[in-house]
Structure 1
Amino acid sequence: MSCSVAVCNSPVFSPSSSLFCNKTCILSSPQETICLTLSHLKPSSSSPSSPSASPKSPFRLRFQKPPTGFAPAPPLVFGSESVSASCTSQSPPGGALKRKRPTRLAIPIGPPDFVAPSSEKLVASTPREESREVEREGDGYSVYCKRGRREAMEDRFSAITNLHGDRKQAIFGVYDGHGGVKAAEFAAKNLDKNVLESVVGKRSELEIADAVKRGYLTTDAAFLSEKNVKGGSCCVTAMVSDGNLVVANAGDCRAVMSVGGAAEALSSDHRPSRDDERKRIETTGGYVDTFHGVWRIQGSLAVSRGIGDGQLKKWVIAEPETKILRIDSEHEFLILASDGLWDKVSNQEAVDIARPFCVGGGDEKKPLLVACKKLVDLSASRGSSDDISVMLIPLSQFM
């Protein structure tokens, strides 16, 4: 059978009527043999067993019918990031080609793992691609992550509480990876530490904001210096120290606070659709356009800031926007979440659903975790196919 493949620019490759052409199929009943002519192969120099073959005729593969059996396929080779199968077959004497059947893949199923580098810090890690949910009821916070339709969950979170033995000092983060999990994992393990090291000894709001910026940029540079890294991650962090709340973000992870029951966004999403972000990108030689109704940088990425994205680093910067405020009695709780929530649930809806569980407690054994799950389930019920991560942090504990 002569085959020609039509190559197109479509991201989705699908068969069409133009995919297969010049088919030649010869059925020879007396010998019960099927001959497939492959015109792209070199002609055979000799074929004494076939009276129709000649040095000028196309090379033929002969399949004896019925087949003699199936030969076992060679073993699959597993790499660190991919699985590849290599199959080599040779025709035995007489021209019969034995078909080889690929072996079945046995995918292990396991629970999500948590890696705690120290007694204070918890970093969510889901190395198994099959992990669909991660939940944690921590010291003064709760978080729930649910995988979307991807093969691997790309969201991560981190939490460091009881800093320096002081329960009123902590730092939290939610990280939404894209193009793989490496950037989100790296940020979850390093960003909060780099921010804390940078803010030591800083007092004024300007100094603190500049220190947080250095923490983000240091993390970004360290990730890009790693070997074989790809993809990126949006980030939102919330640091509490001496009654002050410092919220920073790069990308479209968002922080929303309940102020007496009213939702107040403490961060602004970094997307190419923002006028100031689009102007910054175009000023530096990039372009922004829409694809399937979504604004993208260079026709590719739908966020304009974050950790990683080395191939777009000229336009996708890691510099965060930071907001600092003093916690008072009206500040009830904080929601940190990935865009998997915010694309389907409004700020006020999220506060209304979480508030009964965060203010005044409840009858549930783990009220904060129940609230996180309710928010995630609401977004999923509205059609979100993205990974969804929600972290709730009551603020009265830090006053």
Structure 2
Amino acid sequence: MVAEAEFICHPTLSFQCLHLPLPSPSIQPDFFDMSQPGTAAPPILFDLSRRESALSCSTSLQTTIVSETPTRKFLPRIRSGSHTDIGPRSSNEDEHIRIDDLSSHLGSLYSWSEPSSFYAVFDGHGGPDAAAFMKNNTMKIFFEDAELPQTSDVEEAFLQAMEICHLRSYLQADQALADELSVDSYCGTTALTVLVLGRNLLVANAGDCRAVLCREGGAIQLSQDHRPSCEVEKKRVEDLGGSVEYGYLNGELAVTRALGDWYMKLPAGSASPLTAEPEFQLTKLTEDDEFLIIACDGIWDVLSNEEAVSLVQRELRYHNDPEQCAKELTSQALMRDTGDNVTAIVVCFSSPERQDTVSCQRPRLRFCMSEEARAKLREFIEGN
């Protein structure tokens, strides 16, 4: 079944930065993996005839919803794998979170009717402390202390409220990094988070990590790289008093959005050329969606969206293991001489109604013989 689809973009209101006091969390040990035990403007329609969605830079909070007319409701069955490698660097400043069953992890904290998952990639710079802080405190800031909406129905109003909560969480996390004494003001991190609620896929991004969806074999980019080379980002930076020199923000930073890096930011509450405000992308998953790749720029600097999708498709045919797919992505990036740490998460979507295995039956064959051949065979049998 191929669903007919169209993009519906709803511009949303801009929000004031909320700087709420947060407890000063402590830094905990390294990587963990819990995948196992105001009026909106009229909608603008876009043709989705091409598989590859070219995203333009935007400085406003944006939601993209994919509407479809399926014959039955699709609910993905999530499984994922991840891998990280230090690459040619002296230390690994990447961190990531992978939770396939978010409802079980949160327990009774929230009661959502739909299955849920959560993933995040943090690409640190200026040292590992900012990315490590985010890995260790994201669940607290984004969920435990976030007062997220609770409802039995995951509808558009609920999803918009979820976006607002995530926006607030990004800004609170940024402020928490400013208040955390163990994190230097010259240390920062990009952040890309993915929340799956039933068939709703919410991507939030601040920086140059990237999320790419495989739909019907094609690559659809679900996040925008926030770099000074992006013309809209460059204009935003310059309008706020910043500059782009030799491809770097103020001649120093390779991204225009990040958490931390408070030495480059204006006082809390002031608009700054370097911002932690994310961009959002909301997508309705369909049966045509095969998997999602979430990776840091160490992958995307040397692999195109199409190359990464083709690689994962090939690996899934070989062993059907998203963990191996993530390892192969990082291996390919290293073989192509990436100059950075490499981290990749591969999230597979498969409907519970789909058959994971195909029963093999021995084919029934019918042979035809001429009358002459049949007579010779009968003569041979009777003669013995």
Q: TM-score range by the shorter chain?
A: 0.5 to 0.7
Compute the displacement of 1:209 (Å): 2.0
Deviations 1:279-336 (A, max 9, x none): 111111111110xxxx101110010101111011232211100111111101110000
2:221 corresponds to: 265
Aligned match of 1:140: 79
The corresponding residue for 1:162 is 101
Aligned equivalents of 1:322, 1:157: Cα separation in 2? 19
Residue pairs, 1:269-308, within 5 angstroms:
269-290=225-246, 295-308=247-260
Distance 1:198 1:220, change over 3 A: farther
Unaligned runs of 5+ in 1: 1-111, 123-138
After superposition, the Cα gap between the structure-2 partners of 1:162 and 1:367, relative to the gap in structure 1 and judged at 3 Å, is closer
Residues 156 and 188 of structure 1 are in contact (CA less than 8 Å); yes or no, is this contact kept in structure 2?
Answer: yes
Q: Deviations over 1:144-168 (max 9, x none)?
A: 1110222210000012232233893
1:240 CA drift (Å): 0.6
The residue aligned with 1:151 is 90
User: Residue in 2 aligned with 1:182?
Assistant: 129
Pair 1:310 & 2:268 matched: no
Aligned to 1:380: 334
Structure having the higher helix fraction is 2
Distance (whole Å) between structure 1 residues aligned to residue 138 and residue 30 of structure 2: 20
Aligned residue number for residue 201 of structure 1? 150
Cα deviation 1:62-86 (Å, max 9, x = unaligned): xxxxxxxxxxxxxxxxxxxxxxxxx
CA contact (8 A) 1:232 1:309 kept: yes
Instruction: Give deviations 1:95-152, integer Å, cap 9, x for gaps.
Output: xxxxxxxxxxxxxxxxx95446xx6799xxxxxxxxxxxxxxxx82111111022221
> How has the CA–CA distance of structure 1 residues 115 and 267 changed in structure 2, closer, same or farther, with 3 Å as cutoff?
closer
Q: Is the 1:173–1:192 Cα contact (8 Å) retained in structure 2?
A: no
Contact 1:142 1:392 in 2 (8 A): yes
Contact 1:281 1:287 (C-alpha < 8 Å) held by counterparts? yes
User: Residue 171 of structure 1 is aligned with which of 115, 118, 121?
Assistant: 118
- Contact 1:306 / 1:316 at 8 angstroms: preserved in 2? yes
CA contact (8 A) 2:114 2:198 kept: no
2 CA distance for matches of 1:193 and 1:395? 27
Could you say what the CA RMSD is over the residues aligned between the two structures, in angstroms?
2.4
Q: 2: CA distance between counterparts of 1:398 and 1:310?
A: 46
Of 313-322 and 345-354, more deviation after overlay is shown by 313-322
Q: How far has the Cα of 1:397 moved from its partner?
A: 5.7
Number of the residue aligned with 1:128: none
Cα distance in 2 for partners of 1:242, 1:200 equals 15
Give the direction of change, closer, same or farther, for the CA distance of 1:398–1:176 in structure 2 (3 Å limit). Answer: farther
Cα deviations across residues 232-254 of structure 1 (Å, max 9, x unaligned)?
11111110113211011100000
Cα distance in 2, alignment partners of residues 227 and 387 from structure 1: 26
Q: Which structure 2 residue ranges, 5 or more long, are not aligned?
A: 1-28, 38-77, 105-112, 266-271, 354-384
Conserved in 2, the CA contact under 8 Å of 1:121 and 1:158? no
Please give the alpha-carbon distance, in whole angstroms, between the structure 2 residues aligned to 1:398 and 1:319: 36
Q: 2:211 aligns with which of 226, 241, 255?
A: 255
Which of residues 277, 281, 305 in structure 2 aligns to 1:347?
Answer: 305
CA distance in 2, matches of 1:355, 1:120: 21
Q: Tell me if the contact between 1:168 and 1:397 (Cα under 8 Å) persists in the aligned partners.
A: no
Structure of larger gyration radius: 1
- Is 381-390 or 340-349 further displaced after alignment? 381-390
The match for 2:170 among 192, 209, 216 is 216
Contact 2:103 2:115 in 1 (8 A): no
Aligned equivalents of 1:229, 1:171: Cα separation in 2: 25
* Per-residue CA distance 1:195-229 (angstroms, 9 max, x = gap): 33353338524322222111111111111111142
Question: 1 CA distance for matches of 2:83 and 2:231?
Answer: 33
Q: Secondary structure at the match of 1:199?
A: coil
Asked whether the 8 Å contact 1:146–1:389 carries over to 2, the reply is yes
CA 168–180 in structure 1, closer or farther in 2 if over 3 Å, else same:
same
* Partner secondary structure for residue 102 of structure 2: coil
Equivalent pairs, count: 262
Post-superposition Cα deviations, 1:154-196, rounded to whole Å, max 9, x if no partner, equal 0000122322338931100111000001111111122344333
Instruction: Give 1:1-399 correspondences, 5 Å limit.
Output: 114-115=31-32, 140-165=79-104, 168-196=115-143, 197-201=146-150, 203=155, 204=157, 205-230=159-184, 231-290=187-246, 295-313=247-265, 314-358=272-316, 362=318, 364=319, 367-396=321-350
Is the CA contact 1:234–1:252 (under 8 Å) kept in the aligned structure 2?
yes
SS in 2 for 1:315: coil
**Residues 30, 132 of structure 2: 8 Å contact kept:** no
Q: How far apart are the structure 2 equivalents of 1:171 and 1:377?
A: 25
What's the offset of the Cα at 1:267? 0.2
Distance in 1 between residues matched to 2:35 and 2:149, nearest whole Å: 18
Query: Are the counterparts in 2 of residues 176 and 234 from structure 1 also a CA contact under 8 Å?
Result: yes
Amino acid at match of 1:225: D
Q: How much does 1:340 deviate?
A: 0.2
Moved more, 141-150 or 156-165: 156-165
Q: Distance in 2 between matches of 1:223 and 1:372?
A: 29
Contact 1:161 1:167 in 2 (8 A): no
Where 2:115 maps in the other structure, the secondary structure is coil
